[in-house]
Structure 1
Amino acid sequence: MRVLVTGARGYVGSRLVPALLARGHEVVATSSDGSSRTGYPWRDAVEWRPMDVFDAGQVRRAVDGVDAVAYLIHGLDDRDYVARDRQAAQTMRAAVDAAGVEHLVYLSGLVPQGTPDEQLSDHLRSRLEVEDVLTAREGSSLTLRAAIVMGSGSSSFEVVRQVSRRIPLVRPVPMWMRGTRVQPIAVSDTIEYLVLALESPGTRGYLDIGGPDVLTYPELLRVYADVVSVSRVQVPLPWMPAGLMGSIAGALTDVPGETVEALVHSLEHDMICHVDAREVLGEPGRTLVGVRESMSRSTRPFDPAHDGAARGEDPHRPSLGDPAWSR
């Protein structure tokens, strides 16, 4: 199968590419200038095509001759990401329909069950809007919804790691976070599900992907502190709105501030699976990775001999091509 990976130089895309190559698929990777200027070890094993997702002609040429598309474009680092993500999705939908691409897989975020759209964060509403746009295409479109993706270099994981590292001794936790639950998923399992989804043409709709553990956010922070052997006392705060918390977390981390603020606004709801992908796609082929193991594997130092985006290596580990703020 010939698969186009958008966002191939991003966190998930850079780890999906070697997994697809290992399964014998041909990969077309996109970049804004069509070049392979990247530190990823697989850069010479794929075909590079230029693609500005807002240029309809370039997108149409990029998808020409491919069987499936992995759509991994998210614009949280832009203040106007809602409108830009909508436009990008509309451009891609028109292109894959015109090219007759058989299948498209979109990686999105878990959506709280029973929560009215107007109560969702802009981040989650935008993900749903992109999903609706892509689902309306002529060929099959499948959305995989995930909560926190656990792995070195993942924006969500880096917020947990950097906040825990940079607040000594005492960690303030808003009261509203103490009861909300999250079902993180290891990046290795995320990649496995994406491959299974791409290899399932004709499968439509959406599926939830998550790991074996469901925790509250304070529990998640405690597990991380235990894994890295640091002592942090959690102090409940009776008042701290999500907007203020997002601004503080953004200032404390190297993750782009707009991304942090958008993610924090999604913490006000339970983020757990309801439509289990395993019932449709099957098991990833091994036991799902739990939070503790995932964190342990994700906190290893960078080693160029074991790059996380190399074929046969652990995708939890750092990669030379990851953002500088994640190392």
Structure 2
Amino acid sequence: MVKNDERVLLTGPTGFIGGRLLRALDEKGYRVRCLVRLSEKLTIRGEPLRRDPEVVYGDLLRPETLSAALEGITTAYYLVHSMGGRTIRETKAFAERDRKAALHFLSAAEAAGVRRIIYLGGLGERSDELSKHLASRNEVADILQSGRVQTTVLRAAVIIGAGGASFEIIRYLAERLPVMICPKWIQTRSQPIAVQDVIAYLIGCLENEATAGLRLDIGGPEILSYADLVRIYCRVRKLKRLLIPVPFLTPRLSAYWINLVTPVPAGIVFPLVEGLKNEAVCRDNRIRDLVPISLTPMEQAICQALAEESMGPGRLPSVQSCFVSWRS
């Protein structure tokens, strides 16, 4: 059924989350408008959508380009952030870019009469001496919730899915290194979540008005360290790997080391690694009552990500693609 009364703006439609959310919104029958940067082109991967989205070109750092994108929009998804560039040096200015982008977007949304904004941020408490990356995510959440538009903030830790930086780092390290020299941050606890569950929560917040204006933690059913994620990956792939902890690898050195082994740029690895010094466990589980979904165990999430690597983004893999039995 087409939801003609809901006009949804999707920012970041070419990204890891945005591309999947576009497909999910299309399957639900929403009328979607995609805000695409002037230098990008929206490419639909996998099977064709039921309805082609409207594409509007603009730049969050150029506020004069935003009014056309937000005109007539009921709900807007804010899925953009400056994680980093190709090098660590390029990450230094990201917080200021994100601050300006959020302020411009909120101002344009208020002027256009947008009812709701849904923002996906990072999980971490201010009292935990957050990394610059997580602190910036919190600042963006504060900005978006400071105006007249009802803004829902979802806060996630590690998101596991094909093409996501966290999963690709795990995959390349496990596949290429029989012995891994691991810094102490690999033992930090987090509550990783499968990308399909993130999408379900993003859709659920759109469809449940009770989530408007709230700041909600989202996570999977297990509390795990990054080392646990590597071990689960190895178990799924039947790989024998040895993890050796060492105390002296700084986040910067870790980023360069990971960049040597994986195709993920150091400028993206660095903020991820720096954020791993902070425990990222859900302290507020209201989302489970507001948007009740069946959470994906991490073994199954990794299995689906592996299948999706070969099948292409946006397609649901089969159970037979995994080397282990999924737990019921």
State the match for 1:17 in structure 2: 22
1:166 and 1:270 map into 2 onto residues whose CA distance is: 27
State the match for 2:61 in structure 1: 54
**Matched residue type, 2:259:** G
The more displaced of 23-32 and 64-73 is 23-32
Cα 1:151/1:35, change in 2 over 3 Å: closer
- Please tell me whether the aligned partners of residues 250 and 261 of structure 1 are also in contact (alpha carbons under 8 angstroms): no
- Please tell me whether the aligned partners of residues 118 and 151 of structure 2 are also in contact (alpha carbons under 8 angstroms): yes
> 1:244 aligned to 2:249?
no
State the match for 1:154 in structure 2: 164
State the match for 2:326 in structure 1: none
Structure 1 residue 114, shift from structure 2 partner = 3.7
- Please tell me whether the aligned partners of residues 194 and 296 of structure 2 are also in contact (alpha carbons under 8 angstroms): yes
1:186 and 1:207 map into 2 onto residues whose CA distance is: 17
RMSD of equivalent CA atoms: 2.0
- What stretches of structure 2 of length at least 5 have no aligned partner? 1-5, 86-90, 319-328
- Please tell me whether the aligned partners of residues 182 and 244 of structure 2 are also in contact (alpha carbons under 8 angstroms): yes
> 1:28 aligned to 2:28?
no
Aligned to 1:261, which of 263, 270, 294?
270
State the match for 2:285 in structure 1: 276
Note the alpha carbon deviations across 1:118-150, whole angstroms, 9 max, x for none.
Answer: x21110111011111101120200110001111
Structure 1 residue 281, shift from structure 2 partner = 2.1
- What stretches of structure 1 of length at least 5 have no aligned partner? 316-327
Note the alpha carbon deviations across 1:11-62, whole angstroms, 9 max, x for none.
Answer: 1000001111111211111212398541424566211111111111211211
Note the alpha carbon deviations across 1:219-272, whole angstroms, 9 max, x for none.
Answer: 111111111121111111132222221221123211122111000001112111
* TM score, norm. by length of structure 1: 0.87
State the match for 1:324 in structure 2: none
- Please tell me whether the aligned partners of residues 4 and 68 of structure 1 are also in contact (alpha carbons under 8 angstroms): yes
1:236 and 1:131 map into 2 onto residues whose CA distance is: 35
State the match for 1:222 in structure 2: 231
**Matched residue type, 1:186:** A
Aligned to 2:148, which of 117, 138, 143?
138
**Matched residue type, 2:240:** S
What SS is found at the alignment partner of 1:45? coil
- Please tell me whether the aligned partners of residues 160 and 194 of structure 2 are also in contact (alpha carbons under 8 angstroms): yes
State the match for 2:323 in structure 1: none
2:309 and 2:225 map into 1 onto residues whose CA distance is: 29
Cα 1:158/1:192, change in 2 over 3 Å: same
- Please tell me whether the aligned partners of residues 35 and 48 of structure 1 are also in contact (alpha carbons under 8 angstroms): no
State the match for 2:71 in structure 1: 64
State the match for 1:318 in structure 2: none
* TM score, norm. by length of structure 2: 0.87
Aligned to 1:290, which of 279, 297, 305?
297
